[in-house]
């Protein structure tokens, strides 16, 4: 397997190359990379790939790691079926 | 490919000199004279069960808890209670007075299966290399040890400073 | 001279509309810098269904149907062309529904379609229950009386549209500057001369305020009404026969089922502002637990067979409306050089066309494609249909009116 | 359970070492506590930790992690802590938690919430890392120590921090061969005593080395490793192929802080504690009213520190809720802090102690 | 392979044995253990094929966070097998891509 095909986002199968391309085009934070590539939009919601993306952004842009924040976390933080979510009252 | 993978030299272990200079390591004379507890604990880890368990107050960590354990060989009667309690499995008992040519080494062992008393086994050094043949003298595995057995093996005296265990009793693939 | 010192046109706002303007301008050889305070598509373009619905609403816009449609129909054509030029943004003309879920709604829908036909909107179709279910079988046994259907509507991937437009704009020489908030549009004697941001001043002959829900913050002359919007995304599903729709659910307004190429489905609706009386927040992007749940109820309610699918995230964003429901597109009176492009409840239905129109305006100082009076930001804007909702109580009334259910709106208000 | 809204005085999210310690402590003073945990049984990572703990008697040193887990559980039971298992906390909004349990969702209204969600493992990517058989060291640990299943037959461990070393040892205990441990740095990251016990079995530890690739048709069949230079680049000619069917990644942990982010807690970036860490004061209170943090979510440390932090938070919450006088609470809190301090002594703890100070002394706490 | 005897944890506790059907084949499992653990014990390590590149995937995090171990369980795709307890008679299928829903969507 060539390095070019290296997967970063396991859920959406986004490669390192695609992420680097997005960064070259100006995406300099996790959220921007996500919007540009779908990395982090899958089932796990960027849980696994987020640190890898941070590292790539840092290496390519020189932006300090501490300034590269994770994408926004929103409910539900685990996949839950619509039926179960809907099956509740008084919320 | 067939050559055995070797550890990067110096990667993991602090040299024997440092080990021997640490306060838990007995002097050469003490090693010769009587059964001694050997503590191979050269890093300042916050940990002191060896001190707590010693009924004679021979092992002292004190304050702060990161002090390296010191052992007072005069107080120590080599009862070996500290061997199974050490979370780092870093305490041994070496007896160079066992016989004229032989010494015993007692060490903690948690693998399955346990050797049986009387078994002929391979004794290994700190690097896992086979140092010499050994005979299993004792296997102690009381409940109080909480699954950390203390095994005593008999080895030729000249190896007593390097032997710290035995080859695993499970089948080992010799090809690698 | 440094890049950001001066340019012909400054576009403020990196959504689909702003990027489209930048692209169209740059393509004509005009110097353009686009400023976006966050990331591209981080406003409504990134928090929307990607629905390309040419005419929304039942009470609204009826009298303006044809004029409003001029723009969105142009957009529909342009999107197809654009997709060939800038790359695949997953635009599909798969039709859209306005669903009647009660007898009463069905009757009024019938009347509405009749009026629309009279007004010259010949494409709109009235479909009965059977026809509706045929096109969208996932309604299952859900009560559906019929629908209003527009075959040329559809959906697209709004992220891709925005990013591809930005990429194409850059290829033509535009400068895209993200994470840089414009603090002020600088004027001199009734003439706009540039903008100020934290990286300094940028001189420009033209400034285009394309910040949609945030437009009033920079340009006080226009009145933009932000409305919180909530939505939920499902796990990726195999391709379903579905198209964008709007419908009432227990009196509330819901929309969705835009299945992306990747298979995720989106469903949502408007949400209420958050915060305390006197200090309501219409831009709050935190989605409340009850709102996530509400979206799940929409999904289960409309598509019982989809109730077992996983919800993987939800969000809140901000849509924008103008007081009369028709977007502002054009120059601000007595502010030479300032254009406003804002008030899109559904920017995807306008983005491509608006980019072209603004470019025509800037290059030729007149609109040539379609009549634009209806979009004039300087038009008198009676606040009849859309009461000013900056005060929470009036938004409450507005929602009540929109949902035609005061009791329900009251209930929702009490939940805050 | 009939009602959809439940009132809980103290909600503890996460039933691991920190969460259970909070629960037992707070409940012992009379606080009504409910612990929510996603798993079928509580204890979190404690039940994976079958080695004897370091520390002192007060820290339950010399006792195996899973036994500490059992004793914490019985304390919780003794003090009437309610435990909701198989329960996902899927969202948080001020004093409300959205939970899912047994096919329904509920809203939990709380007076105080403790987020003790622990940590998750850092990924490491290399060609082939998505192959079946490449997994987190913690994942392998869960499979063998909790579920009693061998995750493979022959393993390569990537990373020589304590997790890498301990899991390597545990792989051996589970009858799995360990081909090697590779470490990118020139020295091992974990305790020497852990390395020593593995070395006694002959498992090679290769430093300044990395994994280049995992190969295999459907599952891992071999791993390519190589030496790296100071810049981290692979030195040509040093590649070696190891026949393994399991590659464990142990390159550190980071706080599993989604709920803290969602709740709006302020964070500080502290690499030594794993990543962005929710800022908390010396009572473990986050920057959001009524939300506390404890354990790895508040900075990656050991299970023993997690439990001490939990006890500290438990005392603080009991005091806040009026179950404990301030004088008594202060005394108990100081004792807990002392125990924490002692766990953070020495060359391995110094940097963590320093980072923790930065957190608690952060301006946003004032 | 199961670890029937563990030097620290002792003998494997006897739990209720159940049967799972995996891609049509029956395998033995213990009630309540995660599906992924049961499969691993039966030597099944490839749990799904990814949607885009159709590559094999297995257990990665084992704590329900990475969602890599999802399979079709009783007709429902995307079920996290590492945190879903095994129950007698469950029908489990290797998930190809987004998976096939048993129920008509």
Give the fold, CATH level 3, of D123-249: FAD/NAD(P)-binding domain (3.50.50)
Decide: helix, strand or coil at residue E62. Answer: coil
Radius of gyration of chain C (CA): 21
Which tens digits make up the pLDDT trace of E44-98? 999 999 999 999 999 999 988 999 999 999 999 999 999 999 999 999 999 999 9
CB of A59 within 8 Å of a chain C CB? The answer is no
Per the CB < 8 Å rule, is E57 touching A10?
A: yes
| DSSP E strand boundaries for chain B | 36-39, 59-60, 70-71, 91-95, 102-109, 120-125, 130-140, 149-156, 163-166
Taking chain D (366 residues) in runs of 10, the rounded mean pLDDT of each run is 78 97 97 93 90 91 92 95 94 95 92 97 96 97 96 97 97 96 94 93 95 96 96 93 98 96 96 96 96 98 95 98 96 96 91 95 83
If asked whether residues B79 and B105 sit together in one domain, one would say no
Among D240, A82, D189, A2, smallest CA distance to C302 is for A82
Q: Name which of B162, B56, B49, B62 is nearest B107 in CA terms.
A: B162
Per the prediction, chain C carries an average pLDDT of 87
DSSP label of B145: G
**Which residues, 6 or more positions from A5, have their beta carbon under 8 angstroms from its beta carbon?**
A15, A17, D127
* Domain spans of chain D, in order of start: 5-120+253-365, 123-249
Tell whether A91 is covered by a domain: no
* Per-position DSSP letters for D54-103, written without gaps between them: -S-GGGTTTSBHHHHHHHHHHHHHHTT-EEE-SEEEEEEETTEEEEEETT
- Predicted pLDDT at B13: 61
pLDDT tens for each residue of B76-128: 999 999 999 999 999 999 999 999 999 999 999 999 999 999 999 999 999 99
Question: Which of chain B's residues have a Cβ under 8 Å away from the Cβ of D208?
Answer: 8
Determine the 3-state secondary structure of E93 from DSSP. strand
Residue-wise pLDDT for C212-257, tens only, equals 999 999 999 998 888 889 999 999 999 898 899 988 887 677 888 8
**Which pLDDT belongs to residue C257?**
81
Sorting pLDDT into bands at 50, 70 and 90, what band is C41?
Answer: very high
pLDDT digits (tens, 9 = 90+) for C86-136: 999 999 999 999 999 999 989 988 988 888 888 888 899 999 999 999 999
CA distances from C343 to C10, C48, C377 (A): 19, 14, 10
Grouping H, G, I as helix, E, B as strand and the rest as coil, residue C271 is coil
User: Are D91 and C289 an interchain contact pair (Cβ–Cβ within 8 Å)?
Assistant: yes
Contact D219 E32 (CB under 8 A): no
How many domains in chain B? 2
Summarised one tens digit per residue, pLDDT across range C104-117 is 989 988 988 888 88
d(Cα E70, Cα E80) in Å, to the nearest integer? Answer: 4
CATH number of the domain within which A7 lies? 1.10.10.1100
pLDDT > 70? residue B130: yes
- Chain E nearest CA to D338, separation (Å): 32
Domain containing residue B24: CATH number: 3.30.70.20
Q: Among all chains, which residue has been given the structure tokens 């979370």? A: B87
CATH code of the domain in which B120 resides: 2.30.30
- Domain range enclosing A40: 3-86
Rounded CA gap, D118 and D278, in Å?
Answer: 12
Determine contact, residues C337/C290, Cβ cutoff 8 Å.
no
Task: Identify the pLDDT of residue D4.
Answer: 75
Q: Which residues of B touch E5 (CB under 8 A)?
A: 112
Name the maximum alpha-carbon separation found in chain E: 50
Which among C27, C411, D224, C44 is positioned nearest to C403, based on CA atoms?
C411
- pLDDT greater than 80 at residue B176: no
**The pair of three-digit structure tokens given for residue B105, joined into one six-digit string:** 């080494």
Confidence of residue C386 (pLDDT cuts 50, 70, 90): very low
A1 touches chain C (CB under 8 A): no
Q: Is the pLDDT of residue E104 over 80?
A: no
Q: Reply yes or no on whether the pLDDT at C389 is more than 50.
A: no
User: Within a 13 Å sphere around the CA of D171, how many CA atoms are in the beta-carbon half?
Assistant: 31
pLDDT tens string E6-36: 999 999 988 899 999 999 999 999 999 999 9
Structural domain includes residue B29: yes
Collapsing DSSP states into helix, strand and coil, what is residue C323? coil
CA C415 to chain CA centroid, Å, is: 27
Report the pLDDT value the prediction gives residue D5, as an integer from 0 to 100.
Answer: 84
Q: Residue D214 and residue D232: Cα distance in Å, rounded?
A: 18
Q: Can you tell me the distance from the alpha carbon of D269 to that of A68, in angstroms, rounded to the nearest whole number?
A: 10
Look up the domain containing B56 and give its range.
Answer: 13-87
Q: Residues 216-275, chain C: which have Cβ within 8 Å of A?
A: 232, 234-236, 262, 264
Instruction: Return the closest-CA partner of residue D249 out of D151, D365, D336.
Output: D151
Dihedral sign of CA atoms C285, C291, C293, C298 in order? negative
CA distance B138 to B115: 9
Q: Token digits for C220?
A: 């006080």
| pLDDT-derived band at B1, boundaries 50, 70, 90 | very low
pLDDT at B5: 81
Q: φ and ψ at D149, to 5 degrees?
A: -130, 135
Among C284, C319, C31, C33, residue whose Cα is nearest residue C176: C33
Q: Which of B1, B2, B4, B8 to mutate to test the interface with D (most CBs of D within 10 A)?
A: B8
* Separation in Å, CA of D335 to nearest CA in chain A: 33
C392 has pLDDT over 60: no
What pLDDT is stored for residue D316 in this prediction?
98
Q: Under a CB-based contact definition with an 8 Å cutoff, are residues D223 and D156 in contact?
A: yes
SS (H, E, C) C208-269: EECCHHHHHHHCCCCCCEEEEEEEEEECCCCCCCCCCEEEEECCEEEEECCCCCCCCCEEEE
B27 with B83, same domain: the answer is yes
Q: What is the DSSP letter of B157?
A: G
Return the residue of A nearest to E48 by Cα: A11
Burial of C411 (0-12, 13-18, 19+ CB in 10 A): exposed
A15 lies in a domain? yes
- CATH dotted code for D5-120+253-365: 3.50.50.60
Q: What ranges in E1-105 are assigned the alpha helix state H? A: 35-41
Give the residues across from C184 on adjacent strands.
C196
Domain count of chain E? 1
Which residues in chain E are closer than 8 Å to C139, comparing Cβ atoms?
none
3-class secondary-structure state, position D131: coil
Q: Do chains B and C touch (3 or more CB pairs under 8 A)?
A: no
Which 8-state DSSP code applies to residue B75?
Answer: T
The interface pTM score, or ipTM, of the predicted complex is 0.91
Spacing of C-alpha C51 from chain mean position? 9
Block residue for tokens 């890049």 = C3
Which candidate from E61, E64, E70 shows the least CB-CB separation from A78? E64
Residue B7 lies in a domain: no
From residue B173, how far is each of C106, C200, D195 by CA, in Å?
77, 69, 21
Mutant choice from E7, E60, E64, E74 vs D, greatest count of D C-beta within 10 A: E60
Contact, B147 vs D67, CB < 8 A?
A: no
Please check whether residue A30 lies inside any domain of the structure: yes
The CA distance from C175 to D60, in Å, is: 62
- Counting residues of chain B whose pLDDT is more than 70, the rounded percentage is 92
Give the domain range for residue E69. 5-96
- Contact assignment for D91 to A75 by CB distance below 8 Å: yes
Instruction: Determine which of D5, D88, D95, D98 to mutate to test the interface with C (most C C-beta atoms within 10 Å).
Output: D98
b/e per residue, C281-292, with b = 16+ CB within 10 A? ebbbbbbbbbbb
State the CATH number of the domain containing residue E34. 3.10.20.440
pLDDT at C398 over 80: no
d(CA E105, CA E102): 9
Contacts for E3 with CB less than 8 Å, ≥ 6 apart: D144, D148, D149, D150, D174, D175, E9, E12
Q: Is the pLDDT of residue B2 over 50?
A: no
Q: Do E51 and C235 touch (CB under 8 A)?
A: no
Q: D5 in contact with E at a CB cutoff of 8 Å?
A: no
List all residues 6 or more positions away from E23 whose beta carbon is below 8 Å from its beta carbon: E92, E93, E94
The 10s digit of each residue's pLDDT in A27-77 is 999 999 999 999 999 999 999 999 999 999 999 999 999 999 998 899 999
- Percent pLDDT > 90 in chain B is 79
DSSP conformation letters of D183-200: -SSSS-SS-HHHHHHHHT
- Scored b (16 or more CB within 10 A) or e, E29-42 reads bbeebbbbbbbbbb
- d(Cα C91, Cα C52) in Å, to the nearest integer? 9
pLDDT, tens only, B51-88:
999 999 999 999 889 999 999 999 999 999 999 999 99
**Residue B164 and residue B120 share a domain:** yes
| E105 to C263: CB separation less than 8 angstroms, yes or no | no
Q: Give domain status of residue E104, yes or no.
A: no
How far is Cα D84 from Cα D101, in angstroms, rounded to an integer? 8
**Residue C384: CB atoms within 10 Å:** 8
Round to the nearest angstrom and report the end-to-end CA distance of chain E.
38
Among partner residues A7, A47, A79, which is closest to E78 by beta-carbon distance? A79
Q: Please, what CATH class does the domain formed by C1-94+153-224+323-382 belong to?
A: alpha beta
pLDDT for residue A88: 64
Q: Judge if the upstream peptide bond of residue B113 is cis by omega within 30 degrees of 0.
A: yes
């Amino acid at each position: 397997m060539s390095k070019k095909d290296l997967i970063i986002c396991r859920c959406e199968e986004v490669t390192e190359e695609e992420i680097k391309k997005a960064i070259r085009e100006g995406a300099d934070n996790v959220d921007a990379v996500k919007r540009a590539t779908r990395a982090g939009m899958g089932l796990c919601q960027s849980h696994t790939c987020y640190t890898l993306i941070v590292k790539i952004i840092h290496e390519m842009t020189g932006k300090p790691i501490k300034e590269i924040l994770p994408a926004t976390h929103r409910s539900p933080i685990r996949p839950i079926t619509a039926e179960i979510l809907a099956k509740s009252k008084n919320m | 490919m067939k050559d055995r993978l070797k550890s990067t030299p110096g990667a993991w272990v602090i040299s024997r000199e440092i080990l021997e200079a640490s306060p838990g390591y007995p002097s050469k004379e003490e090693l010769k004279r009587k059964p001694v507890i050997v503590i191979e604990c050269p890093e300042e880890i916050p940990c002191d069960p060896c001190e707590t368990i010693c009924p004679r107050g021979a092992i002292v960590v004190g304050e702060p808890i990161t002090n390296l354990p010191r052992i007072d060989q005069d107080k120590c009667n080599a009862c070996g209670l500290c061997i199974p309690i050490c979370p780092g499995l870093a305490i041994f008992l070496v007896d160079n007075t066992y016989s004229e040519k032989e010494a015993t080494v007692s060490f903690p062992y948690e693998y399955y299966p346990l050797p049986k008393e009387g078994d002929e086994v391979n004794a290994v050094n700190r690097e896992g290399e086979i140092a010499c043949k050994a005979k299993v003298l004792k296997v102690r595995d009381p409940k109080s040890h909480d699954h950390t057995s203390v095994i005593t093996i008999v080895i030729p005296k000249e190896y007593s400073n390097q032997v710290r265990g035995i080859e695993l009793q499970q089948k080992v693939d010799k090809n690698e | 001279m440094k890049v950001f010192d001066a340019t012909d046109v400054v576009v403020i706002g990196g959504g689909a509309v702003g990027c489209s303007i930048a692209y169209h301008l740059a393509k004509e050889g005009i110097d353009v810098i686009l400023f976006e305070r966050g990331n591209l598509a981080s406003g409504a373009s990134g928090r929307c269904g990607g629905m390309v619905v040419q005419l929304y609403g039942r009470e609204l816009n009826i009298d303006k149907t044809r004029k409003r449609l001029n723009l969105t129909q142009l957009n529909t054509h342009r999107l197809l062309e654009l997709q060939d030029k800038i790359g695949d943004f997953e635009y599909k003309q798969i039709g859209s529904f306005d669903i009647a879920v009660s007898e009463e709604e069905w009757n009024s829908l019938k009347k509405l379609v009749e009026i629309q036909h009279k007004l010259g909107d010949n494409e709109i179709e009235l479909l009965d229950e059977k026809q509706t279910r045929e096109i969208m079988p996932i309604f299952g046994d859900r009560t559906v009386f019929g629908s209003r259907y527009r075959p040329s509507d559809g959906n697209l991937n709004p992220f891709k549209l925005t990013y591809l437009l930005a990429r194409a704009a850059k290829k033509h020489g535009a400068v895209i500057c993200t994470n840089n908030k414009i603090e002020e549009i600088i004027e001199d004697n009734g003439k706009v001369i540039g903008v100020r941001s934290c990286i300094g001043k940028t001189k420009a002959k033209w400034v285009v305020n394309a910040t949609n829900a945030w437009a009033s913050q920079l340009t006080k002359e226009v009145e933009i009404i932000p409305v919180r919007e909530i939505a939920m995304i499902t796990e990726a599903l195999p391709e379903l026969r579905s198209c964008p729709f709007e419908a009432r659910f227990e009196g509330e307004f819901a929309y969705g089922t835009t299945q992306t190429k990747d298979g995720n489905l989106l469903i949502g609706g408007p949400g209420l502002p958050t915060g305390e009386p006197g200090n309501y927040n219409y831009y709050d992007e935190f989605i409340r637990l009850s709102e996530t749940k509400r979206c799940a109820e929409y999904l289960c309610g409309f598509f019982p067979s989809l109730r077992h699918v996983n919800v993987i995230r939800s969000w809140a964003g901000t849509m924008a409306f103008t007081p009369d429901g028709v977007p502002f597109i054009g120059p601000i009176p007595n502010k030479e050089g300032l254009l406003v492009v804002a008030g899109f409840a559904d920017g995807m239905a306008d983005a491509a066309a608006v980019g072209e129109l603004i470019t025509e305006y800037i290059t030729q100082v007149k609109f040539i494609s379609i009549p634009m009076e209806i979009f004039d930001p300087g038009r008198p804007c009676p606040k009849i249909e859309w009461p000013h909702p900056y005060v929470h109580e009036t938004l409450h009334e507005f929602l009540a009116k929109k949902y035609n259910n005061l009791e329900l709106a009251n209930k929702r208000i009490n939940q805050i | 359970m009939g009602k959809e809204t439940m009132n809980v005085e103290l909600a503890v999210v996460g039933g691991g070492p920190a969460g259970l310690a909070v629960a037992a402590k707070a409940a012992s003073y009379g606080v009504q506590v409910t612990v929510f945990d996603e798993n079928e049984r509580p204890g979190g990572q404690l039940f994976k930790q079958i080695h004897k703990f370091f520390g002192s008697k007060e820290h339950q040193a010399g006792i195996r992690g899973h036994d500490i887990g059992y004793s914490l559980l019985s304390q919780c039971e003794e003090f009437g802590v309610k435990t909701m298992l198989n329960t996902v906390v899927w969202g948080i909004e001020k004093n409300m938690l959205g939970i899912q349990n047994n096919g329904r969702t509920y809203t939990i209204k709380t007076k105080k919430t403790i987020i003790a969600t622990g940590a998750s493992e850092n990924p490491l990517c290399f060609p082939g890392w998505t192959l079946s058989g490449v997994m987190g060291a913690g994942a392998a640990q869960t499979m063998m120590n909790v579920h009693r299943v061998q995750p493979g037959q022959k393993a390569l461990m990537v990373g020589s921090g304590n997790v890498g070393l301990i899991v390597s040892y545990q792989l051996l205990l589970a009858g799995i061969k360990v081909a090697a441990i590779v470490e990118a740095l020139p020295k091992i990251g974990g305790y020497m005593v852990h390395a020593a016990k593995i070395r006694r079995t002959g498992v090679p530890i290769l430093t300044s080395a990395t994994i280049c690739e995992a190969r295999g048709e459907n599952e891992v069949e071999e791993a390519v490793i190589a030496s790296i230079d100071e810049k981290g680049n692979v030195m040509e000619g040093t590649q070696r192929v190891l026949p393994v069917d399991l590659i464990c990644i142990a390159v550190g942990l980071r706080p599993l802080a989604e709920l803290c982010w969602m709740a709006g807690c302020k964070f500080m970036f502290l690499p030594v504690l794993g990543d962005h860490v929710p800022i908390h004061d010396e009572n473990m209170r986050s920057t959001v009213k009524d939300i506390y943090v404890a354990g790895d979510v508040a900075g990656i440390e050991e299970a023993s520190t997690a439990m001490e932090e939990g006890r500290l938070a438990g005392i603080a919450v009991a005091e806040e809720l009026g179950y404990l006088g301030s004088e008594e609470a202060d005394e108990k809190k100081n004792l807990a802090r002392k125990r924490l301090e002692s766990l953070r002594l020495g060359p391995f703890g110094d940097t963590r102690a320093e980072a923790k100070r930065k957190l608690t002394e952060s301006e946003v706490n004032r | 392979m199961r670890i029937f005897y563990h030097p620290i944890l002792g003998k494997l506790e006897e739990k209720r044995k159940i049967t799972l059907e995996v891609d049509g084949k029956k395998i033995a499992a213990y009630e309540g253990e995660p599906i992924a653990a049961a499969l691993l014990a039966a030597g099944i390590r490839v749990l799904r094929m990814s949607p885009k590149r159709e590559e094999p995937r297995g257990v990665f995090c084992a704590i329900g966070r990475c969602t890599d171990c999802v399979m079709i369980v009783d007709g429902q795709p995307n079920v996290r097998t590492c945190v879903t307890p095994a129950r007698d008679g469950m029908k489990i299928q290797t998930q190809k891509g987004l998976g096939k829903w048993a129920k008509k969507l």
